[in-house]
Amino acid sequence: MLGGGDRVAFSPDGQYLAGAGRNFITIWSLDPRQVVSRLSIASDRVLFAYSPDGQSIVTCEGYPTNALRLWRVPSGQQLYARDNVDIVTCVAFSPDGQYFASGSTPVSMWDPSGNVRLWRASDGELIRVSNDHPYQVTALTFSPDGQYLASTGYDQTVKIRRVSDGQLLQTFYTEFIPSSLAFSPDGEYLLVGVPWGRVEFWRLQDGILAEIYDTETNGVNSVAFSPSGEFFAYGRHDCTVVVARNPFYTPPQRVGDMNRDGCVDDADLLMALFHFGSHNASLDMNRDGVVDDYELLAVLFNFGSGC
């Protein structure tokens, strides 16, 4: 058992485990199992997030410093600190590690300074501040390609901005205060967790609420997609984790599976033969404008695959 920590996270390479306690974050190596560093925090409340390469950790302290700090890990060297950044409530790294974003509670609801901040990770330079949510920011997340940043808060809106220039692209209005956000791996949907009993699927192409999932969803605190996008999961306030199938998941097409039923068989061979020479775009697997030898050979060489 590793002692101390009410928030924990594995490093992306799985070699280290970080745990936050009162006034410190401890970094353990898992093989051998030992403490390798301890980060001293000037607050008994701290949030943190690993960079995608696992080489650094950003920490967000509560009162009295309200500071952001970037640390080199596992050495524990502090790289820089930024004090008095409101009361940070959430933090996330961009997928490429170039930026991290923080959401906070403004000093007052009339505070014009903004409460969604974008920081350059290399030197802690504040790139941009957005006053998107007049109350507390409850969650934020980057899209898988790093081009967009989504945030939500007590104002019951979800806002999506382009990272490159800060342009506000979309605003979704929810019935309740969301607790968590997650982009689908293909970047086509945004999953919104609501503590009052539902998980929402928002389609980003047109901003439509595409699906409401309300099965065993009382007290949703966090949401996530599996890496393939086939499943989504949510954590509840009763310490239960629920895994369900993503209703919008489309499995990748198997080579030679012309009818997309997951099995390359007689039906696919007949389709290749019947449509041979046609310009049926849905069956044109190599996108050369015609169903020809390529499609026929794809079926023959993969015959029986997935069956």
The predicted pLDDT at position 112 comes to 53
Angle at CA of residue 153, ends 148 and 157, nearest 5°: 70
The predicted pLDDT at position 5 comes to 43
- Whether the per-residue pLDDT at 115 is higher than 70: the answer is yes
DSSP-assigned beta bridge partners for residue 202: 190, 209
CA quadruple 202, 203, 207, 213: dihedral, nearest 10: -30
The predicted pLDDT at position 42 comes to 82
Question: According to CATH, what is the number of the domain 251-307?
Answer: 1.10.1330.10
In the sheet with 126-130, reading across from the earlier edge strand, the strands are 87-93, 99-105, 116-120, 126-130
The predicted pLDDT at position 4 comes to 42
Average pLDDT, the chain: 88
State which H helix or E strand residue 79 sits in: strand 77-82
Burial of 221 (0-12, 13-18, 19+ CB in 10 A): middle
The predicted pLDDT at position 131 comes to 86
- Whether the per-residue pLDDT at 182 is higher than 90: the answer is yes
Specify the amino acid at residue 131: N
Question: What confidence tens digit (pLDDT) does each residue in 278-297 have?
Answer: 888 778 888 888 889 898 88
Whether the predicted model's global pTM rises above the 0.85 cut: no
CA distance 241 to 293: 49
Confidence of residue 218 (pLDDT cuts 50, 70, 90): confident
The predicted pLDDT at position 219 comes to 87
The predicted pLDDT at position 2 comes to 40
CA distance 77 to 231: 38
- Whether the per-residue pLDDT at 36 is higher than 70: the answer is yes
Question: What confidence tens digit (pLDDT) does each residue in 148-175 have?
Answer: 999 999 999 999 999 999 999 999 999 8
Domain boundaries, the chain: 7-245, 251-307
157-162 vs 33-40, strand pairing mode: unpaired
The predicted pLDDT at position 252 comes to 72
* Distance set, CA 31 to CA 38, 183, 301 (Å): 17, 33, 45
- Whether the per-residue pLDDT at 199 is higher than 60: the answer is yes
Mean pLDDT score, 268-276: 90
CA distance 202 to 134: 22
> Which of these, 225, 285, 288, 215, lies nearest to 254 by C-alpha position?
285
The predicted pLDDT at position 127 comes to 95
- Whether the per-residue pLDDT at 51 is higher than 90: the answer is yes
CB atoms within 10 A of CB 277: 8
Question: What confidence tens digit (pLDDT) does each residue in 52-81 have?
Answer: 999 999 998 887 888 899 999 989 999 999
* Contact between 213 and 201 (Cβ < 8 Å): yes
Confidence of residue 137 (pLDDT cuts 50, 70, 90): very high
37-46, 250-259, 288-297: which range is least confident on average? 250-259
Cis peptide before 178 (omega within 30 of 0): no
Fold of 7-245: Methylamine Dehydrogenase; Chain H (2.130.10)
- Whether the per-residue pLDDT at 108 is higher than 80: the answer is no
